[in-house]
Structure 1
Amino acid sequence: MPYLLRSGCLANYAEVARSAGLNPHQLLANASLSRYALLDTDIRIPVEAVSQLLEASAAASGQIDFGLRMAESRQLADLGPLALAMREAPSLRMALDSMERYLRLHNEALSLHIDRSSGGLVTVRAEMLRAGDGGLRQSMELVVGAIHRALHCLLGRLHGVRLVPHRVYFTHAAPANPATHTRLFGTKPSFNQEFDGIMYRAEDLEVPLKTYDPSRVSEARRHLDSMLAERAESVTDNVRRLVACLLPQGKCSADEVARQLGIDRRTVHRKLRLSGRSYLAILQEVRTDLAMRYIANVERPLSEIAGLLGFTSLCVFSRWFAMRFGCSVSEWRGRRANPAQSTSAR
């Protein structure tokens, strides 16, 4: 089954597309998405189709920051149930925790991993499960931009308070002009990084929120937890999310995945076996997805990609890639640059 997300993710799509001279309804049709997705924010639509729509829109408009332009005018209400979870938090730090916990109600393919181990800093890593091979640049810029916009909206009009990230990270190459990035985040992001995400100073996230109402928290939590229970994740999805997060950090192993799931390694293997899957198969799938993302960025050295994918050397990675894709990295990049040539060669 494909991963789904709320059509609220397309908030402002039509406006940004028209401002770039595009026909939003035609592009939606090309991506096999109904125009009603722009009218009803709670329709469930395929993540892969949305990713294709954003990449196609960026290509057609020539605006490499198309996804980020959508994030610029995002409102908290666009997140639906996730907005309720964040509004009922007493601080920005707790709002981030709520976003991490309830994100599945908004996007089944997206996960957040919040790391507070760096003294005085909080890092939010965004990971997207498989969404096709058409690239994720626009989707990830929209995601990271929307996270920051959500926190900005929660701050509201608090006098003298402006949230500026300590650092912003993207795995893809830098645009020729990062003006939109600087305008939205208040700082220039770092590109060609090992993950997509954002880092804040811990003290900046302790700002108390006006929207917090202690009398409503329990009721809101019960409602959201019941919604979450209806969308319980499989062990396969949980393992995929952890592998996607841990692999680029060089921490990925069946033992570490089991530890983070709170069970032992043998139990992980048994549960995967019952669902017809295996840890090694999932590892290979995630490696394949990440390999396509990393290699699409021609500025990233292959030796670095090999390390991010958990290979001991470039030679080992090259052999694996040839077996997995049936061609060398340079041939794969050539086919991506010239799809017509790739089709005629089959």
Structure 2
Amino acid sequence: MHRLDVAARAGIAVPPPGAADAAGRVDADDIQPQVVPQPVYGVQTGEASPDDDGVELLLHDDLLVRDDPSCTRGLGQEWTASPCRTWQNPQIIWQFPQATERLIMAGPMIGSIILSGAAEKIRQCGRKPGSIARKAGIPPAALSDPGLLVSGRDVMTFFELAARTCRCRTFGLEMSVTAHLGAVIGPLWLLLRHAQTVEQMCIDLAKHFDLYSSAAVMAYRPTKAGGLLHWSVATGHGESEVQMSEYAVATILGEIRLHAPLGWTPPAVHFRHEAPVDLRLHRRIFGPNLHFNSEHNSIELDAAVLRRPHSAAAPQVRSLVQKVLRNEEGLPAAPIELQVEGLIRALLPYGACSADDVSQALGISTRTLQLHLQLAGKSFRLIKDAVRADLASKYLQHSGLNVTQMAARLGYGDPTSLSRSFRRWHGDSVRGQQQALKLKAKRLATPTRPVRDQA
């Protein structure tokens, strides 16, 4: 079943009856969307959408259900009439650009809307945004066109290159100031919007994050005091996550704050990397309880905030949207390897992180977990080993941990065991890598004359 057809079944506005021609087709230009005075998908009603060819979608809520032969399916500007269900209540409006069809299950790709504002920021530093984009493997057009799909790995490289080239340690954080989670993650935001509580919103974000991209993984873990929402670059999708982790955590925290009491700050925010020299912007965005060289990138949430009702909660809409995004399409849950990786990254600092631990967190038996991984052509041991290799490299490059501390974080009993594994992973000793990184840092610190012409 096509995504747009499913969207129509979920109550999304479609061409009015009679709009179809004799051939059973209608043109997208014939659709006359309603306008509801309320913020939508990162823009306000009445404003230009990120994609001028976008289609206004309306969800309705009073369950006036009927079969409507004018409901549509098809790609691009070509729409085919077919029976489907619509229901009505002008409460919820959502901007759904044509590009959104490509954003669902995009794999390691993400929408170029995440780059919005980057070109202007880079030009303000006297640098060429197009040049930085090309070096990162991103087409320069993605800096001005929010409807493209680009590699998640390349976007992370772009953020790091931009920060380094502009000598702006807070580049990712500054990008987050004008970011809106709904605009970045697209259709997934509609599911979060109708969660009943803040905790359910966090669970849904972590559980369905693969619908946005597999270039990063998320996990939600309940704690005695509340919960921890984890974010991490997926294995193999970026050598550095400093800029992107700060951008992602800040953007997610911004959404949570919309549903928290005025003036609320999280009990703590954690980052794996080392603290910058100047923490003023970090404290302004995250609050005073910042922890660097931590076990994970995460937001601590207190129980009171997690229990707060979501301001736009609509359980029946949430259930329907979940079917739209996954169940009605016959799509499985997030790939098992991504679920396992996310949990390993969340649990590894606290113990052995065995297959039993992960299967318990997933609510399935260890045997079932192993069977699912086998069917996916994966193994728990190899996923855990790859996560350790990735984290070891990131800790070495971006944290202030010594080898003994790194070994403990990665579940090794002593530094010698880590050193053996490190050589197997990276073909060099920890000491050799440290020396190479020092030389690289010294080379990058050499002043270069800024390029003032613009691109």
What TM-score do you get using the length of structure 2 for normalisation? 0.67
Structure 2 vs 1, CA of residues 205 and 265 (structure 1 numbering), >3 Å: closer, same or farther?
A: closer
* Counterpart selection for 1:93 from 182, 196, 199: 199
* Counterpart selection for 2:265 from 164, 168, 171: 164
Consecutive unaligned residues in structure 2, runs of 5 or more:
1-105, 444-455
Q: Using the TM superposition, give the Cα deviation of residue 288 of structure 1 relative to its aligned residue in structure 2, in angstroms.
A: 0.6
- When structure 1 is superposed on structure 2, of 172-181 and 311-320 the one drifting more is 311-320
Structure 2 vs 1, CA of residues 83 and 186 (structure 1 numbering), >3 Å: closer, same or farther?
A: same
1:151 aligns with 2:252: no
* Counterpart selection for 2:321 from 220, 232, 257: 220
Q: Distance in 1 between matches of 2:205 and 2:313?
A: 15
1:139 aligns with 2:244: yes
Which structure 2 residues correspond to residues 118-267 of structure 1 after superposition, within 5 A?
118-119=224-225, 121-132=226-237, 134-153=239-258, 161-213=262-314, 216-226=317-327, 229-230=330-331, 232-267=333-368
Q: Using the TM superposition, give the Cα deviation of residue 325 of structure 1 relative to its aligned residue in structure 2, in angstroms.
A: 2.3
1:80 aligns with 2:186: yes
Indicate if the aligned counterparts of 2:259 and 2:308 stay in contact, CA closer than 8 A: no
Q: Using the TM superposition, give the Cα deviation of residue 222 of structure 1 relative to its aligned residue in structure 2, in angstroms.
A: 2.5
Q: Distance in 2 between matches of 1:165 and 1:218?
A: 29
1:282 aligns with 2:383: yes
Indicate if the aligned counterparts of 1:76 and 1:154 stay in contact, CA closer than 8 A: no
Q: Using the TM superposition, give the Cα deviation of residue 289 of structure 1 relative to its aligned residue in structure 2, in angstroms.
A: 0.3
Q: Using the TM superposition, give the Cα deviation of residue 2 of structure 1 relative to its aligned residue in structure 2, in angstroms.
A: 7.0
Q: Using the TM superposition, give the Cα deviation of residue 245 of structure 1 relative to its aligned residue in structure 2, in angstroms.
A: 2.4
Q: Using the TM superposition, give the Cα deviation of residue 40 of structure 1 relative to its aligned residue in structure 2, in angstroms.
A: 4.5
Question: 1:100 is matched by which residue type in structure 2?
Answer: A
Which structure 2 residues correspond to residues 52-67 of structure 1 after superposition, within 5 A?
52-67=157-172
- Describe the SS at the equivalent of 2:275: coil
Q: Distance in 2 between matches of 1:326 and 1:89?
A: 47
Q: Using the TM superposition, give the Cα deviation of residue 167 of structure 1 relative to its aligned residue in structure 2, in angstroms.
A: 0.8
Consecutive unaligned residues in structure 1, runs of 5 or more:
none
- When structure 1 is superposed on structure 2, of 244-253 and 16-25 the one drifting more is 16-25
* Counterpart selection for 1:30 from 128, 135, 151: 135
Q: Distance in 1 between matches of 2:165 and 2:310?
A: 40
Paired residues in the alignment total 337
Indicate if the aligned counterparts of 1:102 and 1:228 stay in contact, CA closer than 8 A: no
The residue number in structure 2 matching 1:12 is: 117
Structure 2 vs 1, CA of residues 85 and 14 (structure 1 numbering), >3 Å: closer, same or farther?
A: farther
Question: 1:136 is matched by which residue type in structure 2?
Answer: E
Q: Using the TM superposition, give the Cα deviation of residue 298 of structure 1 relative to its aligned residue in structure 2, in angstroms.
A: 5.3
Structure 2 vs 1, CA of residues 192 and 145 (structure 1 numbering), >3 Å: closer, same or farther?
A: same
- Describe the SS at the equivalent of 2:208: helix
Q: Distance in 2 between matches of 1:219 and 1:212?
A: 13
Indicate if the aligned counterparts of 2:272 and 2:395 stay in contact, CA closer than 8 A: yes
What TM-score do you get using the length of structure 1 for normalisation? 0.86
Q: Using the TM superposition, give the Cα deviation of residue 311 of structure 1 relative to its aligned residue in structure 2, in angstroms.
A: 0.8
Q: Distance in 1 between matches of 2:213 and 2:187?
A: 11
Question: 1:72 is matched by which residue type in structure 2?
Answer: V
The residue number in structure 1 matching 2:393 is: 292
Structure 2 vs 1, CA of residues 341 and 122 (structure 1 numbering), >3 Å: closer, same or farther?
A: closer
Q: Using the TM superposition, give the Cα deviation of residue 292 of structure 1 relative to its aligned residue in structure 2, in angstroms.
A: 0.3
Q: Distance in 1 between matches of 2:177 and 2:330?
A: 32
Question: 1:186 is matched by which residue type in structure 2?
Answer: G
Q: Distance in 1 between matches of 2:222 and 2:121?
A: 35
Q: Distance in 1 between matches of 2:395 and 2:328?
A: 35
Structure 2 vs 1, CA of residues 188 and 237 (structure 1 numbering), >3 Å: closer, same or farther?
A: closer
Structure 2 vs 1, CA of residues 252 and 307 (structure 1 numbering), >3 Å: closer, same or farther?
A: same
Q: Using the TM superposition, give the Cα deviation of residue 43 of structure 1 relative to its aligned residue in structure 2, in angstroms.
A: 3.3
Q: Using the TM superposition, give the Cα deviation of residue 142 of structure 1 relative to its aligned residue in structure 2, in angstroms.
A: 1.0
Q: Using the TM superposition, give the Cα deviation of residue 39 of structure 1 relative to its aligned residue in structure 2, in angstroms.
A: 4.3
Q: Cα RMSD (Å) of the superposition?
A: 2.8
Structure 2 vs 1, CA of residues 272 and 174 (structure 1 numbering), >3 Å: closer, same or farther?
A: same
1:104 aligns with 2:210: yes
Of the two, which has the highest radius of gyration?
2
Indicate if the aligned counterparts of 2:296 and 2:345 stay in contact, CA closer than 8 A: no
Structure 2 vs 1, CA of residues 319 and 60 (structure 1 numbering), >3 Å: closer, same or farther?
A: same
Q: Distance in 2 between matches of 1:211 and 1:293?
A: 38
Structure 2 vs 1, CA of residues 275 and 221 (structure 1 numbering), >3 Å: closer, same or farther?
A: closer
- Describe the SS at the equivalent of 1:64: coil
The residue number in structure 2 matching 1:330 is: 431
Indicate if the aligned counterparts of 1:4 and 1:109 stay in contact, CA closer than 8 A: yes
Q: Distance in 1 between matches of 2:133 and 2:375?
A: 38
- When structure 1 is superposed on structure 2, of 273-282 and 302-311 the one drifting more is 273-282
Q: Using the TM superposition, give the Cα deviation of residue 136 of structure 1 relative to its aligned residue in structure 2, in angstroms.
A: 1.0
